[in-house]
Structure 1
Amino acid sequence: MDTVTIKAKGISVTLDLTVGHIADVTVDSDGRQLKPLHRAPWVDAGETLSPDLPEGTVRLSGDFLCAPFSASDIEAAPLHGWPANSGWDVVSNEATSDGWRAVFRLRRTVMGATVDKIFTLRNSHPFLYQEHVFSGGSGAVSAAHHPMTAMRDGGRLAFSPKRFAATLDTSLEPDPARGRFRLAYPARTADLARFPATGGGTLDLTDYRMEDQREDFITMVEADHGGPGWTALARRAEQDLVLVLKNPTELPVTMLWFSNGGRDYAPWSGRHRGVLGIEDGRAAVGHAASIGDNWLKREGVATAFTLGGEVSFRHVIGALPQADGEPPRDLATASGHMRLTGADGSTRDVAFDSDFLRV
């Protein structure tokens, strides 16, 4: 069995057990089926890919756990570590009084730690509630979720308050023979609507435009605001709202990966378009960088989890129908619901487990 699907009223989730990637999330709402997560075009195409590619790239889908995030240069493993590239087993998979709960275990260990993935669905909640638990092990490891969504015609973004956004010293695709980028590297700003662009001028990080063919990566640091960290993406053509939430104490950074036809080499081949990674983590780029001295630590931001006992962190992904193409200006959770406030001040309440993120 390569996949397992769990269901509750109004939502289903499929996990690819070969690599621990979520192959599909489907939310049933207002007579529509919303599919907020992306699956790379080559995964189901039967293509012959390079044997040098990590399994996580070969089967790139939905969301997965990175541990470490990016290069595994302390303990030998592929890009984003064994949780994103190797098999998981089903530990339990059963109905609950209000939905469904499943537990999966990584067949390998990470720095000696056992890793469990826990999925919870609640009836009539349009969200996947996730938790990852590291038990035992030694040393420290960075970690991040890696949800990816895709758009046919771009979309608009909104976020919980951020201290600043910054790019790395070097872009993801510095060689123009292989790809392209639009942001300046390195650069930094507190105004997400005016991020420095390569060659001058600025770009609006809250506006995903399909004409901007690029491969860009940016790190945003959460501000101290006392609520959940969140990203909301209003997808134009899909007429929905993709929501990703975290506890900022556990996962203090949100990394955005703009992948819109910016890589010309296989398997990307200019066809990986309209994709946005919304990667909440406790990480710098690379395991060694995350546990050593790095620019985020110098800003007072934690970039790794210390292993040895039990370490866990939680994350939420969901989707709602929305036709106006505008994300909320604010999001709050309390008393078993989520309240979204629109630009015009109107509010919308949605069923949500407000205790889950433990903010």
Structure 2
Amino acid sequence: MENITMQNNERWTLKWAHGEATVQAMGGMLAPVRFDIGSGRSVSPLHVAPWGDDPAWPGLMRALRGEWPCVPFGTIDVPDNLPAGFTPREAGDEWRHGFSSNHLWQCVEHTKHRVALRIDYPQDSAVESLHRVIEASADAPALTVTLTVKVRRDITLPFALHPTFAVPKESVQVLACPYRAVHTYPVPVEPRYSRIATNRTFDSLRALDTPEGPLDVTRLPLPRITEELVQLEACRPPFVLRYPADNADVELDWNTDDFPDAVLWISNGGRDYAPWSGRNFALGVEPVCGFFDLGRVVTPPSHHPLAGREGFRFEASAPRTIRYTLSAALSSE
């Protein structure tokens, strides 16, 4: 992995009548963001990792924050103790969540209301380049993001966005979105701390089995230390989070033709090793076309409800552009 220093992790700021947002070169990550929602109120919903910007941690870990795209999406490590029927395979490269998550993007346009970034992949990659535009709405506390993916050859890849939201001590309510089912991770995410029953399907986020009884994950932070991943099948956005202390509702909206599901990463202090050190509390709401974050390294058995989630088909002859929005408003209650 290349040595990426703090000095060249540039940042660009958008300022408009309804807020302020910062985009960084590393990973093209968006955060912090402040939305001014009226009545003198504002909300800053995107998470910034507690270690800030630390060059001791290269790649995406160095200044982990907010929202960014993952092409291809997922881990590069095969989990231990996979259940019977799950087949491990090679990730194909060394970049967790893809090359673009671990390298510097170039700014190609910057105005008060718009920033455009680009990153070129290595010559031996099937992916040629990503072009990302973040634009503030002229008349609302809202950001629209477009991402154009160009590939060198036709290929199917697990593909996801990685919005990560703040979980304040005073709580956030996960109003979520309509969904068909909740699928749990094949193995414990963090064996010492994860509590939710693995490799199961549930009807609701309000009642996930644990050794202590049903767990409701719709109000965070959770009462005990844990780290969890679940996948909401057929999640129909917008996905809504309510920040009661700010009297704010935050919405993430996307096209389900691009991302049929959403992976929820519930980080509730359950990583006790550096740089997390038991202090990371966040909620990832990750629109996904793939199988959890495992699509690069694990094939689920054919009978698994998510077995058909093989990834997104990219074609060399047709660059693909996706569009999604992040917005906020005063709570409806």
Q: Do they fold alike, i.e. is TM over 0.5?
A: yes
Conserved 8 A contact 2:66-2:163: yes
Conserved 8 A contact 2:16-2:138: yes
Residue pairs, 1:109-124, within 5 angstroms: 111-124=126-139
SS of 1:83's partner is helix
Mean Cα deviation higher: 73-82 or 241-250: 73-82
Residue pairs, 1:1-359, within 5 angstroms: 2-30=10-38, 31-44=40-53, 49=56, 53-72=57-76, 73-94=90-111, 100-108=113-121, 111-138=126-153, 139-150=155-166, 151-174=168-191, 176=192, 180-197=193-210, 199=211, 201-222=213-234, 229-273=237-281, 275-284=282-291, 285-289=293-297, 295=304, 297-298=306-307, 300-301=308-309, 303-308=311-316, 309-322=318-331
Decide whether aligned partners of structure 1 residues 119 and 71 sit closer, same or farther in structure 2, where only a CA change above 3 A counts: same
Q: What amino acid sits opposite 2:28 in the alignment?
A: G
RMSD, aligned CA: 2.4
Q: What amino acid sits opposite 1:114 in the alignment?
A: S
Deviations 1:277-296 (A, max 9, x none): 11111122234358897745
| Cα distance in 2 for residues equivalent to 1:293 and 1:3 | 43
| Cα distance in 2 for residues equivalent to 1:132 and 1:290 | 26
Mean Cα deviation higher: 16-25 or 108-117: 108-117
Deviations 1:85-108 (A, max 9, x none): 10111122346xxxx333210133
Decide whether aligned partners of structure 1 residues 269 and 74 sit closer, same or farther in structure 2, where only a CA change above 3 A counts: closer
Deviations 1:24-73 (A, max 9, x none): 111123223321101011024x5x74xxx551112110111111211245
Q: Percent identity?
A: 24
Q: What amino acid sits opposite 2:164 in the alignment?
A: M
Q: Give the aligned partner of residue 334 of structure 1.
A: none
Conserved 8 A contact 2:290-2:309: no
Q: Give the aligned partner of residue 86 of structure 2.
A: none
| Cα distance in 2 for residues equivalent to 1:290 and 1:250 | 21
Q: What amino acid sits opposite 1:187 in the alignment?
A: R
The alignment covers a number of residue pairs equal to 304
| Cα distance in 2 for residues equivalent to 1:213 and 1:9 | 39
Conserved 8 A contact 1:215-1:262: yes
Q: What amino acid sits opposite 1:134 in the alignment?
A: V
Q: Give the aligned partner of residue 80 of structure 2.
A: none
Q: What amino acid sits opposite 1:163 in the alignment?
A: R
Mean Cα deviation higher: 127-136 or 302-311: 302-311
Q: What amino acid sits opposite 2:216 in the alignment?
A: D
Q: What amino acid sits opposite 2:313 in the alignment?
A: F
Q: What amino acid sits opposite 2:161 in the alignment?
A: H
| Cα distance in 1 for residues equivalent to 2:315 and 2:58 | 25
Task: State TM-score, norm by structure 1.
Answer: 0.77
Conserved 8 A contact 1:91-1:105: yes
Decide whether aligned partners of structure 1 residues 291 and 102 sit closer, same or farther in structure 2, where only a CA change above 3 A counts: farther
| Cα distance in 2 for residues equivalent to 1:291 and 1:201 | 30
SS of 2:238's partner is strand
Gapped regions of structure 1 (runs ≥ 5): 323-327, 329-341, 343-359
Structure 1 ranges of 4+ moved more than 3 A: 72-75, 236-239, 289-298
Conserved 8 A contact 2:26-2:60: no
| Cα distance in 1 for residues equivalent to 2:74 and 2:269 | 21
Conserved 8 A contact 1:68-1:287: no
Decide whether aligned partners of structure 1 residues 212 and 204 sit closer, same or farther in structure 2, where only a CA change above 3 A counts: same
| Cα distance in 2 for residues equivalent to 1:171 and 1:89 | 37
Conserved 8 A contact 1:142-1:291: no
Gapped regions of structure 2 (runs ≥ 5): 1-7, 77-89
Decide whether aligned partners of structure 1 residues 288 and 260 sit closer, same or farther in structure 2, where only a CA change above 3 A counts: closer
| Cα distance in 2 for residues equivalent to 1:168 and 1:29 | 36
